[in-house]
Structure 1
Amino acid sequence: MVMKPDFLGGGGVQEDDFSPELQVESPEGELHLRFYIPSHQEFALLATGIKEVIELSPDRITPIPNASPLLLGTLNLRGRVIWVADLGQFLGEVTPLNTDRAEISVIAIEEQDTIVGLAVEGIGGMDWLDIQNSVAPNNVPDIMAPFLRAEWVLDSQKGNSLKLLDQTAILRSARWVG
């Protein structure tokens, strides 16, 4: 925090009181949430489509018999019952999310009146990402391709990338019924 005598003394702050080095540059791109699935692949979702990110005990998710294997169960989110899905399995992962732990990260995504909780391995944080610096998704499984909008190459030698998911495609997918 910059200590200015005018600020501390209650006087008005003048526009010329700020030197250029104190100005905060506006970030480039849009705000995204970064997270991981069990295979340690990293993904991102546009922050504007995220209703909430919660860490919760697995016993707060109620299993539903005869539901799709992609669904872990239901969750009461502020008085509204929502489905919680294993995002990794939805995207074609073989290994299911480990629910035998103290807390599970759930990203509640929303479009119009539809909300789904996406259970993930872990949250990576929030970042400003510029879609102009991304490329078309490359070398992704066919089952995952319809849900990807773009990717940012993080390390081309190691093959590390950050994949941008299309939350509308996820919410409207026919995969939920079968």
Structure 2
Amino acid sequence: MITQADFLGGSGQEQSRSELEVKSPEKELCLRFYIPFGSAQGEPLRQEFALLASDIREVIELSPDRITPIPNTSSLVLGALNLRGRVIWVADLGQFLGQGTTLNTNRSQIPVIAIEQQDIIVGLAVEEIGGMDWLDKKQLRVSMRSVPDTMALFLQGEWILGAKKNQCLRLLDHKAILRSALWVG
């Protein structure tokens, strides 16, 4: 017969309850990505954002011709996409957040982040995917500096990455994005 001590190792002496408990991680897994927001001296500028991995249905890179334009919709909507048999809207996330720079769709692949809540799924087109990272939500600052009102509605907070360079990583609120009135405008 296999006993608990066999799994835990050791001499079969009774282990304390605290040794058996699995500790929850202190950090959250996030997807980091970039959107364009203008240019300085001819060089394009980008802002970095993040979404909690648990808020993302999937991330895909697709050819722009797979996004079908929809007439008479909001200017922030790039079009519709067939995602595994389901038609979803795809938005230029930078335009959605009130940034003046339009996403460059004249390229071979566009990264799209599909977010979901209940039965609502929306695709957010971004400039570039930065990767996954474990971020400490305890370090998240809710009081943000120099954030436009159009963007503040969709943010949970920001992490300061480089105090000298004034760099920050802003965490988006996927529920606020999905419930936004901008989708019907």
Deviation at 1:27, TM superposition (A): 5.0
Q: Which runs of no fewer than 5 residues in structure 2 stay unpaired? A: 1-5, 11-22, 38-45
Q: CA deviation at 1:38?
A: 1.2
One of 73, 95, 98 as aligned partner of 2:101: 95
Equivalenced residue count is 159
Q: What is aligned with 1:164?
A: 171
RMSD of aligned C-alpha atoms? 1.6
Please tell me the residue identity of whatever aligns with 1:66.
N
Shift, 1:28, TM fit:
3.1
Which residue number in structure 2 is paired with residue 6 of structure 1? Answer: none
SS at match of 1:125: strand
What residue is the counterpart of 1:33 in the other structure?
31
TM-score (norm 2): 0.82
Match of 1:7 in 2: none
Residue 141 of structure 1 pairs with residue 143 of structure 2: no
Identity %: 68
Greater strand fraction, Structure 1 or Structure 2: 2
Q: Which amino acid aligns with 2:82?
A: N
Deviation at residue 72 of structure 1 after TM alignment? 0.1
TM-score (ref. length: structure 1): 0.85
Tell me how far apart the structure 1 counterparts of residues 93 and 72 of structure 2 sit (CA, whole Å). 19
The code of the aligned residue for 1:67 comes to T
1:157 CA displacement: 2.1
- Structure 1 residue ranges without an equivalent (≥5): 1-11, 17-24
> For residue 173 of structure 1, what is the aligned residue in structure 2?
180
Q: Which residue of 1 aligns with 2:112?
A: 106
Distance in 2 (CA, whole Å) between partners of 1:177 and 1:157 is 41
Moved over 2 A (4+): 12-16, 25-28
